[in-house]
Structure 1
Amino acid sequence: MFQYGVRVAASRPRDALVAPLVRGTCTDAVVESGPATRRVLVYFDREATSLPAAVVTSVLDLEDSGLDCLAVGPDDDLVTLDVIAPRLGLSPGAVGDGPVFDGAVPAVECGGFRVFRWSDVVAWLRSAPGPAAREPAPAWPPVFAALNLALRLRRLIRADPGLVAAVRDLLGS
């Protein structure tokens, strides 16, 4: 399970933004918007073989619904065991049974799941004595950087289709 957000253009009414959720295209998503900021984020909890695969399918689902995807990024600081495990390179069972969650890291129950702050997990891992001490993997910033570059490149190519061949040549495809 991968959790992340996709920022979409706020030029459409909120009902149009929620339509993909209602139609069942993105049943794993929640729309967050603020009228003052004109910022709209669609947060996903998506099953996939990898984070890039999850993000790409989400972007394509949103675009098929007529939404313009602008950027992608990690979700909020709140995480479940299913999110923590891949960030630590472990299975969810190994994380749940391990010393990280013996009460040293605060958690709350939410919807039947234990929810942690990623920042608390990182702080505990860095300060834990003995074998539990480790540096956690980053929350996939290189993946988000690459996917955001791809989204930006797609917008530029759509504005000037003549760039397609040049970009293909530069990428070696």
Structure 2
Amino acid sequence: MNLVVGVSGGSGIPYALSVLQALHGLGVETHLVVSSGAKRVMSAEGGPQLADLTALASHVYDDRDLAAGIASGSFRTDGMLVVPCSAGTLAKIAGGFADNLLSRAAHVTLKERRRLVLALREDPLPRPMLLNMLAVHDAGATVMTASAGFYHAPESVEELLHFVTARLLDQFGLDVPGFRRWESPR
């Protein structure tokens, strides 16, 4: 499998790190693009940094490089995941505004009818954001929130991140080892 992973400026860079760790462990080829907003968030949050993400990626692209392979529909991938997806990036994707590589790669993913998953990490959800979510859904994207379930009785932040990662990668048919699925009570 061959996936584009976009990291935008929404709070929640640990989700991106968790996804990249899982994809690396599964042997998935990844094409990483990190927005300038994400780089600012990394600095402000003090968690995972750019080097942590790039160390796990198969290929890394500059967000200003609109001539990169992932900017073209002829560059084959199995889809794209944006994690976290900021409200601004969501709006760009919803409006077809491709002013950076991340939004261009998302546009290409939609136009080629490949799977695009957007992992939003913002609350509350104002009306413009809800309309943008509906627009990308109608264009073929899957919109998910970075919301962990608790039925697996998590005992750490890592387990909460693992839950969200597993649910995101479910959208691509990937099984993350150690993910406990819901089992109906007997």
Say whether the fold is shared (TM-score over 0.5): no
Q: Which has the higher strand share?
A: 1
Scaled by the length of structure 2, the TM-score of the pair is 0.25
Q: Which has the larger radius of gyration?
A: 1
TM-score by length of 1: 0.27
Tell me: higher relative CO, structure 1 or 2? Use CA pairs within 8 A at least 6 residues apart: 2
